[in-house]
Protein backbone atom coordinates (compact mmCIF):
# COMPACT_ATOMS: atom_id res chain seq x y z
CA UNK A 1 0.00 0.00 0.00
CA UNK A 2 2.88 2.37 0.75
CA UNK A 3 4.31 2.04 -2.77
CA UNK A 4 0.87 2.67 -4.27
CA UNK A 5 0.49 5.85 -2.19
CA UNK A 6 3.95 7.00 -3.26
CA UNK A 7 3.01 6.49 -6.92
CA UNK A 8 -0.15 8.55 -6.43
CA UNK A 9 1.83 11.27 -4.66
CA UNK A 10 4.34 11.33 -7.51
CA UNK A 11 1.48 11.65 -10.01
CA UNK A 12 0.03 14.57 -8.03
CA UNK A 13 3.46 16.27 -7.96
CA UNK A 14 3.74 15.90 -11.75
CA UNK A 15 0.20 17.22 -12.30
CA UNK A 16 0.80 20.30 -10.13
CA UNK A 17 4.17 20.96 -11.79
CA UNK A 18 2.55 20.69 -15.24
CA UNK A 19 -0.27 23.00 -14.16
CA UNK A 20 2.26 25.52 -12.84
CA UNK A 21 4.26 25.42 -16.09
CA UNK A 22 1.10 25.91 -18.14
CA UNK A 23 -0.48 28.66 -16.04
CA UNK A 24 2.48 30.29 -14.32
CA UNK A 25 0.67 29.94 -10.99
CA UNK A 26 3.29 30.69 -8.37
CA UNK A 27 1.22 29.30 -5.50
CA UNK A 28 1.75 25.79 -6.85
CA UNK A 29 4.87 25.41 -4.70
CA UNK A 30 2.86 26.24 -1.59
CA UNK A 31 0.18 23.75 -2.63
CA UNK A 32 2.84 21.05 -2.84
CA UNK A 33 4.19 22.04 0.58
CA UNK A 34 0.75 21.73 2.16
CA UNK A 35 0.12 18.40 0.44
CA UNK A 36 3.43 17.02 1.67
CA UNK A 37 2.58 18.08 5.23
CA UNK A 38 -0.87 16.50 4.93
CA UNK A 39 0.71 13.30 3.61
CA UNK A 40 3.09 13.26 6.58
CA UNK A 41 0.15 13.68 8.93
CA UNK A 42 -1.61 10.79 7.18
CA UNK A 43 1.46 8.60 7.63
CA UNK A 44 1.49 9.50 11.32
CA UNK A 45 -2.22 8.62 11.66
CA UNK A 46 -3.23 12.21 12.47
CA UNK A 47 -6.57 11.90 10.67
CA UNK A 48 -8.34 14.85 12.32
CA UNK A 49 -5.51 17.17 11.31
CA UNK A 50 -5.61 15.84 7.74
CA UNK A 51 -9.23 16.87 7.29
CA UNK A 52 -8.45 20.42 8.40
CA UNK A 53 -5.95 21.22 5.66
CA UNK A 54 -6.63 25.00 5.92
CA UNK A 55 -5.36 24.81 9.51
CA UNK A 56 -2.32 22.87 8.30
CA UNK A 57 -1.63 25.68 5.82
CA UNK A 58 -2.17 28.33 8.50
CA UNK A 59 0.34 26.62 10.80
CA UNK A 60 2.81 26.81 7.91
CA UNK A 61 2.14 30.57 7.68
CA UNK A 62 0.42 30.12 4.32
CA UNK A 63 -2.83 31.86 3.46
CA UNK A 64 -5.22 29.82 1.34
CA UNK A 65 -8.91 30.34 0.73
CA UNK A 66 -10.57 26.92 1.15
CA UNK A 67 -12.68 26.31 -1.90
Helices within 1-67 (DSSP H only): 2-23, 28-43, 47-51, 53-59
Domain segments of the chain as ranges:
2-59
- Asked if residue 64 has pLDDT above 80, the reply is no
Q: Tell me the whole-structure pTM to 2 decimals.
A: 0.79
pLDDT band at 1 (very low <50, low <70, confident <90, very high): very low
pLDDT at 25: 86
- Asked if residue 4 has pLDDT above 70, the reply is no
Report the candidate in 34, 38, 40 with the shortest Cα–Cα distance to residue 60: 34
| pLDDT single digits (tens) 7-61 | 899 999 999 999 999 998 888 889 999 999 999 999 899 989 988 989 999 999 9
Amino acid sequence: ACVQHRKLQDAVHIAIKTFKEYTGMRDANEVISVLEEVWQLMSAGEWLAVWDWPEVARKMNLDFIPA
